[in-house]
Structure 1
Amino acid sequence: MISLVRLLLVPVFAWMVVEGHDAWALAVLLVSGASDWLDGVLARRMNQVTRLGQMLDPAADRLFILVTLLGLAWRDVIPVWLVVVLVARDVVLGVMLVVLARAGHPPLRVHLAGKAGTFAIMYAFPLLLLSEWPSPVGDVAGVLGWACALWGVALYWFAGALYLAQAGSVLHRDARDGRAARTT
């Protein structure tokens, strides 16, 4: 339910950031980030981890990240290269998921590096939005926001490399097992 609410907040956030309602957009970003954390904690503590939740949560994360990237790039808060770098990683992993699914495998388990990268990126966005405010707070937020964004990008791609290696291992094992079955 929490992930569904987060998904519903995406167009609200998009409208707010494009229209320049920064304080409200910042509030929506903070609520979204807090609810993402709360969603995971509650699901694990209450033993209510579901397949739907496992699909909705990362979908909400990716959609919020994409819309936030596009909105911040639209406003010239972030450069286009940041959008390209983050979207490219998700496209690569999306193709990997299709390949795994065609081979009969479920999505891979999320790595801590992936969670940390997503957390850092989602932490960077409100800071980068806050950096637009003309004040010393905006200046500090800009420095912290870029530190989180760059660290998040590094972790995001590191986790992507881990996922690709894991997928390669799974597919290699399938190929090996298929060759072994044909020779016996």
Structure 2
Amino acid sequence: MSPARELLTVPNLLSLLRLAGVPVFLWLLLGPREDEWALALLVFGGFTDWLDGKLARLLNQTSRVGQILDPAADRLYIMTALLAFLLRDIVPTSIVLTLFAREVAVGVALLVLRRAGFAPPEVTYVGKAATFTLMYALPLLLITKGDSAFAEAARPFAFAFTVWGAVLYLWSAALYVWQVASAVVGRRGG
């Protein structure tokens, strides 16, 4: 399948739509502070994240492009939301720095892996669970910024999902770095 044709599948178009929503999401949070619209866009992004995976399998439209676009959109939403939430005092600096450090560690591991001539390893269940958990945490964190009874009720769930998602995110990074180190050391030893 040609690269252009591979790009123009329903799941990949949904991923591209999610990617296009990232700057709009950031602008809504930091510009006019339209939290309700930002929340709607975040929920839409989470729904299309789930939907593109389901459609890729259902329509037999899985592709290498989709395997790059989908996690890229997830990471951009997570990192963008965390940055905006940090600037708006919704999450503590320690959470943001920890999750950003995770991204740097995984990025370096990926560069080492590519330099050694390996393809990236498959996404792990822990990594998927981490992303899923953080995608629940982010809208809940945004909801907690309000002063309604619903915002108050959402607060413990938001922080629980955030902590659990961060732990899973770090665990998935450790697994990823371990896979990379094992592959590179194994190649040198073999």
| Percent pairwise identity | 46
- Amino acid corresponding to residue 36 of structure 1 in structure 2: D
Paired position in structure 2 for 1:16: 28
1:24-173 residue pairs with structure 2 within 5 A?
A: 24-173=37-186
Pairing 1:7–2:19 present: yes
Question: Greater CA radius of gyration, 1 or 2?
Answer: 1
Aligned equivalents of 2:142, 2:53: Cα separation in 1: 25
Letter in 2 for 1:65: I
Q: Tell me the CA shift for residue 135 of structure 1.
A: 1.4
> TM-score when scaled to structure 2?
0.91
List structure 1 runs of 4+ shifted beyond 6 angstroms: none
Superimposed CA distance per residue, residues 32-90 of structure 1 (whole angstroms, 9 cap, x where no aligned partner): 00100111111112111111111111111111111101111111111111110111001
Unaligned runs of 5+ in 2: 1-12
CA distance, structure 1, for counterparts of residue 95 and residue 182 of structure 2? 30
Task: Give the Cα–Cα distance (whole angstroms) in 1 for the partners of residues 86 and 25 of structure 2.
Answer: 14
CA distance in 1, matches of 2:186, 2:94: 36
In structure 2, how many angstroms separate the alpha carbons of the residues matched to 1:170 and 1:126? Answer: 37
Q: Over aligned residue pairs, what C-alpha RMSD do you find?
A: 0.8
Q: Aligned partners of 1:53 and 1:83: how far apart in 2?
A: 27
Structure 1: gaps spanning 5 or more residues: 178-184
